[in-house]
Amino acid sequence: MIQVKELTKRYGNHIAVDHLSFTVEKGEICGLLGPNGAGKSTTMNMMTGYISATDGTALIDGSDIFDEPRAARAKIGYLPEQPPVYPDMTPWEYLLFVAQLKGFAKPDRQDLAKQAMAQTGVTEVKDRLIKNLSKGYRQRVGLAGALLGGPEVLILDEPTVGLDPKQIIEIRELIRSLAKKHTILLSSHILSEVAAVCDKVLILSHGKLVACDTPENLAQRAEGQNVLIVTALGDEKTVRGVLNSVEGARDVAFEPCLDEGAVTARLSYDTGRDLRAQISSALAAAGCAVLRMQNETLSLEDVFLELTGDRVLEDAEVLTELPERESSAEDGEISAQNNEEEEEKDHAGDL
């Protein structure tokens, strides 16, 4: 349904999107994932024909976005990062305008607008000016505009930014229900979101595609290496000797330790085995009492960080240090988004 071929965007010497190719099948929900400045919005802007590509092209249901722009655009519903709504209109007027812009005949417009409002839950605010609506409602009005008339392909750029947790769940439900009739490409820098709704995840880093797989497969990739953190009394040399002697333990490394006279070691082992009993008895036999032992399973987050080239040990704090290559207008929003990200993570547990 969506075919992206060697899409490239160059700004002077800076390459925002670098020979990106992927396909999305009909009825699939595909998530475009990447840190800020990875080129997600640029890719989407090119796919919808808002900006041109330096090289390459995108086919929407067989229509080339650059060669047959009108045919291709008619099949796309696009929700950009900032919802393209007119503050001086009411949602009702706005949706009628969008319906006319998309070329629907006058008798159908009202029905289409009503349908889009019902789908996104903006019916109760339909006669208020958009400038008086909250960010969440504006986002929904934008979404209503994008899916008005039922375009075959929906391209949504960070559709849940600025929404409260309840609205996020609603929008996710909506996206999932839409997938029956539409093909959806959505972008996000929030992992849990992509994991929750998408059939396929594309991970972008510095304009390049670094992974393309289902969320389950990506998670499995990480499960190949479980990590155990052990704090035991004793010196590094002894503990290292003991740990190395345990069969199956790999990559023993030491971390700073707060307890006096103790050391903290970090080691990896294969999935499907549990080394905890073996290690504790081996350490005890060597006279090193085990103070603490913690199993750490790598999550999708770690895969993400590893793939985007910013692998750091702890996951939660790291999100505040995501790379900011492009000094774009997004910069000001980074801290705010990070907070949301944290909320997102807490929230992901509920889903």
Partner 1 sequence: MLAIYKKDLRGAFHGMSGWVVSAFVVFVIGLYFMALCLSGGYGEFGYVLNNSMFMFLVVVPLLSMRSMVEERRQKTDQLLLTSPVSISGIVWGKYLALLTIYAIPLVVAMVCPLIMAAFGTVSLLRAYGCLLAFFLLGAATLAIGLFMSSLTENQIIAALCTFGALILIYLMPSIASLISSTTFASTLAFSLLALLVCVLVYLMTKSLVLSTGLFCLAELILLILTRFTDVQMEGSFAKMLNTLALFDRFSTFVNGVFDITAIVYYISIALLFVFLTTQGIEKRRWS
Residue of the chain from 29, 39, 78, 190 that contacts partner 1 (CB under 8 A):
78
Question: Is residue 101 close enough to count as binding partner 1 by CB under 8 A?
Answer: yes
Going residue by residue from 102 to 121, which x/- string records binding to partner 1, judged by CB under 8 A? xx------------------
Interface stretch with partner 1, choices 25-33, 82-90, 132-140, 264-272 (CB under 8 A): 82-90
Of 49-57, 181-189, 242-250, 285-293: span binding partner 1 (CB under 8 A): 49-57
Q: What are phi and psi of 322, to 5 degrees?
A: -60, 150
Distance of CA 224 to the CA centre of its chain: 22
Query: Least Å distance between CB 297 and partner 1?
Result: 41
86 or 254, CB closer to partner 1?
Answer: 86
What is the distance between the alpha carbons of residues 351 and 348, in angstroms, rounded to a whole number?
A: 5
Which of 62, 86, 134, 316 binds partner 1 (CB under 8 A)? It is 86
SS3 per residue for 187-252 = EECCHHHHHHHCCEEEEEECCEEEEEECHHHHHHHHHCCEEEEEEEECCHHHHHHHHHHCCCCEEE
45 vs 226, beta carbon nearer partner 1: 45
Which strand ranges, in their side-by-side order, compose the sheet holding 262-269?
250-255, 262-269, 226-233, 290-296
Distance CA 115, CA 123 (A): 9
Q: Are 295 and 230 in contact (CB under 8 A)?
A: no
Residue closer to partner 1, measured from CB, 67 or 317: 67
Closest to partner 1 by CB, 21 vs 100, is 100
Q: Distance between CA 267 and CA 226 in Å, rounded?
A: 8
Q: Is 184 in the site for partner 1 (CB under 8 A)?
A: no
87 vs 241 by CB, closer to partner 1:
87
Q: Does 34 bind partner 1 (CB under 8 A)?
A: no
d(CA 102, CA 98): 6
- Residue 51 near partner 1 by CB under 8 A: yes
- Could you identify the residue written with the tokens 């929003």? 333
CA distances from 51 to 11, 86, 104, 198, 310 (A): 12, 21, 25, 26, 29
C-beta of 157: minimal distance to partner 1 in Å? 10
281 binds partner 1 (CB under 8 A): no
Q: Is 10 a residue that touches partner 1 (CB under 8 A)?
A: no
Q: Is 4 in the site for partner 1 (CB under 8 A)?
A: no
What's the min distance (Å) between Cβ of 348 and partner 1? 29
Tell me which residues in 123-162 interact with partner 1 (CB under 8 A).
145
What would the two tokens of residue 230 be? 């052990």
Residue 45 touches partner 1, criterion: CB under 8 A: yes
In whole angstroms, the minimum distance from the beta carbon of 43 to partner 1 comes to 14
Q: Is 15 in the site for partner 1 (CB under 8 A)?
A: no
What are the start-end ranges of the E strands in the chain?
2-11, 14-24, 29-33, 55-60, 63-64, 76-79, 153-157, 183-188, 200-205, 208-213, 226-233, 250-255, 262-269, 290-296
**What residue ranges bind partner 1 (CB under 8 A)?**
45, 48-52, 69-71, 73-74, 76, 78, 80, 82, 84-88, 97-98, 100-103, 145
